[in-house]
Structure 1
């Protein structure tokens, strides 16, 4: 026969917020008890004992509660304000019972362990920048959602100290302290009561990053289907998006040596320089066309026609030597062909005059003098010898 049932809460003061305590306030617990026998349910009286931190369960009329085989008692605790610290709370159940109605009751004690966890504060979320790509690192704005009772800090991957969070759910760098290159930020949220921390990360990119220590890569590829740079042991290869050789566009190129099969002019329809095994050819924009070399002055040992069998002009100290045949052969005197005449300027005392040899359609040859006063006169032609087999004008 059961006479009385007691439930004692753990802890030296029976009500506290420690790891081994169940509740800081026993009076806020709603406790009810029911006795179940084979045919009915009887409501029991549950009284809190504040000084001892326990509940006493008895029959409402003060009678002993008879327990037959299969009967049981249920004690329900509701609306329990659980102690803040996580831990193991051990409840002690004390039973005062006797086997017969007239026998004195004896006391038995049972332990009921109860695992409790600390109240979890809502974690922050949605950590993101206003713009994932910015032009200036000083214009970064980071935002997040989260409870206001957590301590928030921002840590950047560049190692620079980040200013503290002063606006709820928002952070931005101080002027002049923004990153110069892509940076990953970490949001650290700390619960001041439990020390529990939450970590969130987000990354911001800069359109024009600055790298203090340089960029190390075997290849750099442009965006939007453009070419790339491949770094080799002997330099840099420029390639198009297809992988073929690419083009380098520059206003000015300074180099110790340039190796090229052909160099084109930069203007529309401009000619080019073609490098062959025998030298350099000037070509025009037309396919297979010969180009023109224009220069204020050309220093050369000789000038030859286009073909290797054409005549050539050499420049000895005395003047000009016209030769025929290839320059590999013994030089032979060549011919000078002129449509109008061969001119000579000669200075003499008292003035200047121009002289030239004129050839007419009738194959007549004469020497003409141009005087200072503008008049002309015929001169004499004196020939001591003719070295060529023929003279052609």
Structure 2
């Protein structure tokens, strides 16, 4: 039986066994030594043996990390330090040595031997510390060895509480605005966050995290917390709303009701929906008309002041009351050119018409009729297979070739000439009818045949031969 009494206390109480995958569980062991008897006890050493290992009866698996210290307290309250050190060598023990040999351990005095930074063994159970004291009732008496056993409890590791309160610092943001996510973190858990656009979960720690790219549309973030011991996963979600979302695609099955649609960037155009139609604006909130670009547009009707090409200097069509005008360029008063494969008009009012080349012939329209001109301005030629006219006013008529005969028109009649000369030519005909005499009604008739010319009173010759009357003419 020991002369001194031994009591063990721990912090935390009880000690918690270390768990795989977590930070090691550590604690402090206090061994309180008291003299509860009526007589003083004289001591030299008190040794405390620590069970080392990973079993249920072991206190720690790492003896060398323990930091020992001692303090002696008299009943009157005086305190003094006590030397505590590992030993003896080769043992898993600590030994306290009396500061001054022969000093009594008086009734009511106490001593606390502290073992700090104890890494608790991983198996729950009851660990027993063995205490060996060398004491005597007299100062000079022989010291005898006595033993005591003090036990402490190691409980199984507690299940780690799951993290909670996963939330953004702003429930709603503008597109592109930065935000930070927060949560109440449980030590020892592994944390990852999943979100749209991330190829794989992102490892996080510290209870807060900011996405590298601010959300452009409503985005849900998922916090994955993994218990390192059980590998159980906990999932927490939070959604951030975006005030002006940017969407990659939008499918509406029943329609979209909105007062306006605008581009995603500052200064982009906008389409405003007003009563009965839509208006294209240069920018959102502006009253300046914008520009509509399209590869092809199909309308039942277009009301516009003008139409022009895409490039500077392109032609321009302006719509005036009662018609349109084609201008060389926008803002110019120079008439432009209308190009078409074919034009179908009920009527054309124009000063002149010309072929495509500058030396092509052209037709001008004076008050009296039309003039056909060459490209240089001289009188031109009308080429046609047939002409059907009510009348022709011309100085002469000739065949298609230069050596064909030609007819000139004089005040008193016409003259027939050989081609390319002023020599009289020949008139070829089966017959020549007299003036104002219809066939078979008594008009004189000339029959032309191989032997010569026969003059008849009538076409069929029934009235006999007629007379030849001639008037002298000197060319």
Larger Rg: 2
TM-score range, shorter chain: 0.3 to 0.5
TM-score by length of 2: 0.37
